[in-house]
Chain A
């Protein structure tokens, strides 16, 4: 959610020499390995952790306000809920929201970006206008209104709405890249040989910027997690289940800080920070893998 999104302009030409070379550099890139490692560990924790816990995460299982102990790893809340159980279930929800939101946003961004960049002309003008409008409107404010009226109560709906509002910068970036590829010889060749728009985009243009698309998706993924947790925190999250944002909301609502219950609000925030931070770092690593110019620095 930073100026990171302002990717430095660079050549659209992806490494041609194939996957082996990318893999070679990927396995030697510390940033990528560390970032991906952290994300994977948390993802596994979110996937496997809930299986080891019998009670639902919001169940009142233990004595209230316990500091972390061997029985309750992250302590318990004011009501005796197990913070660790909430944490692992919350990780699951948070990943789901981020992933789905990221996928929806990338899909819209790709469709708009490819069409606008490749077709040009009037379609480009219209799509560009649309992109600018959605770009300027503050996302969270729109989500507030929609959530408040619709009463969104499931993670899926929340993630879809996040996806629907966070695509513009991706569309812009993809449009610019497509624009630079449009005039290349191989695209002209495909057009001369009678391929239709859809085929040229999927067969000729998209593969040549696949690394760029992957990077875009990762940033959108991290973004969705941050937006979802903000919404949860304001009280517009899903009512059933837990997420890391909801945990933070509960902790602040029941004045965990004033009571000094640090084990209630530190884990969820640390979880979000770790996931998003690791995604950003992995993103930089991937950039170095795909873009030889950045490798030496």
Chain B
């Protein structure tokens, strides 16, 4: 399967980059630590070399990497020192997922509806289309900054940083959940809006294409009501949009990451920023693996959904087995 292979490639890339890059990562890390005593430098060099397993043959290093990975062991974070990377990541993942899943799904659904309505309707088309183009062309972080500035700083309606108020501790009280929702609103809105434009435009184009096809003309000739024709067109046009969703996942993840950074939202994006600023390569690599896994899983789910939605693929599979 493509996904398994992709995973192997991703892991290999993740393993290769620190090892085959020009320059010595160990020397780099030792230099960054700013230790001047020769004895200390030597000790650190030993420690890091052992950590990466550089003293072993290459194939052994590769195998070790896989074993560690399959045990869920991504190493130890340098930024928050004794905590394992997997724990740090697990603390951030709920925020990212809580932000991404609703915004991606909602913008996909709403965008498709909007696009379908706009197609072949002058007035709506002339408003939805330009707005859609402006929205898709926007860098995620810019819309986020604009929203934070407009609604957060000037209007003062929404908080512009963090996942919850600094004065609170995470718990399950209604008060805290409300606060959480309050902080969630702006990042959600910006992710939702940027993605919305693209889906609306894509759907509009697909619907126009479908409405021009023979079956639509035939239905119209039979005297079917316009609503019915549009409903058939929509059902056909949704299929490429599902594939589009799979293709866009990488972009959507990237958008979520930068949006989180704008709002200092405690998800994976802020984690990556911290990892880069603190030269915490284990954390960075762990996050990378996690994102790849997440995207692969989502792709897999979309594949299944596609089979469920489109009867033709099911028929094709049954035929292949027979």
Interface residues of chain A, those whose CB is within 8 Å of chain B, are 1-6, 8, 129, 132-133, 135-142, 144-146, 148-150, 169, 222, 226-227, 229-230, 233-236, 245, 248, 251-252, 257-258, 260, 262, 265-266, 268-270, 272-281, 297
Asked if B6 contacts A132 (CB within 8 A), the reply is yes
A139 to B296 alpha-carbon distance, docked (Å): 13
Smallest Cβ-Cβ distance to B196: which chain A residue:
A2
- State whether the Cβ of B21 lies closer than 8 Å to any Cβ in chain A: yes
Asked if B149 contacts A133 (CB within 8 A), the reply is no
| Chain B residues whose CB sits within 8 angstroms of the CB of A252 once the complex forms | 141, 145, 261-262
| Chain B residues whose CB sits within 8 angstroms of the CB of A141 once the complex forms | 250, 253-254, 287-288, 291-292
Smallest Cβ-Cβ distance to A226: which chain B residue:
B139
Asked if A138 contacts B254 (CB within 8 A), the reply is yes
| Chain A residues whose CB sits within 8 angstroms of the CB of B145 once the complex forms | 248, 251-252, 257, 265, 269
Closest 7 A/B residue pairs (Cβ): A2-B198, A3-B202, A269-B142, A277-B137, A138-B250, A140-B254, A276-B137
Q: Measured between C-beta atoms, what is the minimum distance from A256 to chain B in Å?
A: 8
Stretch at the interface among B71-79, B98-106, B237-245, B313-321: B237-245
Asked if B247 contacts A2 (CB within 8 A), the reply is no
Which B13-33 residues sit within 8 Å CB-CB of chain A? Answer: 13-14, 17-18, 21-22, 25
Q: Measured between C-beta atoms, what is the minimum distance from A244 to chain B in Å?
A: 9
Partner of B261, one of A144, A234, A281: A234
Asked if B277 contacts A235 (CB within 8 A), the reply is yes
Q: Measured between C-beta atoms, what is the minimum distance from A282 to chain B in Å?
A: 11
Q: List 6 A-B contacts (CB under 8 A).
A: A229-B139, A234-B273, A257-B153, A278-B137, A280-B136, A280-B137
Q: Measured between C-beta atoms, what is the minimum distance from B151 to chain A in Å?
A: 11
Q: Measured between C-beta atoms, what is the minimum distance from B128 to chain A in Å?
A: 14
Classify chain B's interface size: 35 or more
Asked if A8 contacts B209 (CB within 8 A), the reply is yes
Asked if B18 contacts A149 (CB within 8 A), the reply is yes
Partner of A272, one of B139, B160, B197: B139
Given known pairs A144-B284, A145-B285, A252-B145, the reply for A4 and B139 (CB within 8 Å) is no
Q: Measured between C-beta atoms, what is the minimum distance from B302 to chain A in Å?
A: 11
| Chain B residues whose CB sits within 8 angstroms of the CB of A137 once the complex forms | 6, 9-10, 250, 292, 295
A233 to B262 alpha-carbon distance, docked (Å): 9
- State whether the Cβ of B181 lies closer than 8 Å to any Cβ in chain A: no
Given known pairs A132-B2, A230-B139, the reply for A145 and B17 (CB within 8 Å) is yes
| Chain A residues whose CB sits within 8 angstroms of the CB of B202 once the complex forms | 2-4, 6
Asked if A4 contacts B14 (CB within 8 A), the reply is no
Q: Mark B151-175, 1 if CB is under 8 A from A, else 0.
A: 0111000001000000000000000
A253 to B66 alpha-carbon distance, docked (Å): 37
- State whether the Cβ of B118 lies closer than 8 Å to any Cβ in chain A: no
Asked if A145 contacts B273 (CB within 8 A), the reply is no
| Chain B residues whose CB sits within 8 angstroms of the CB of A297 once the complex forms | 208
Asked if B3 contacts A136 (CB within 8 A), the reply is yes
A252 to B258 alpha-carbon distance, docked (Å): 11
Asked if B253 contacts A150 (CB within 8 A), the reply is no
A136 to B243 alpha-carbon distance, docked (Å): 12
A137 to B254 alpha-carbon distance, docked (Å): 12
Asked if B134 contacts A234 (CB within 8 A), the reply is no
**Most chain B beta carbons < 10 A, residue from A6, A135, A227, A268:** A6
Smallest Cβ-Cβ distance to A281: which chain B residue:
B133
| Chain A residues whose CB sits within 8 angstroms of the CB of B275 once the complex forms | 148
A266 to B154 alpha-carbon distance, docked (Å): 15
| Chain A residues whose CB sits within 8 angstroms of the CB of B197 once the complex forms | 2
| Chain B residues whose CB sits within 8 angstroms of the CB of A260 once the complex forms | 149, 153-154
- State whether the Cβ of B188 lies closer than 8 Å to any Cβ in chain A: no
- State whether the Cβ of B304 lies closer than 8 Å to any Cβ in chain A: no
Given known pairs A135-B247, A136-B3, A235-B276, the reply for A145 and B284 (CB within 8 Å) is yes
A281 to B148 alpha-carbon distance, docked (Å): 28
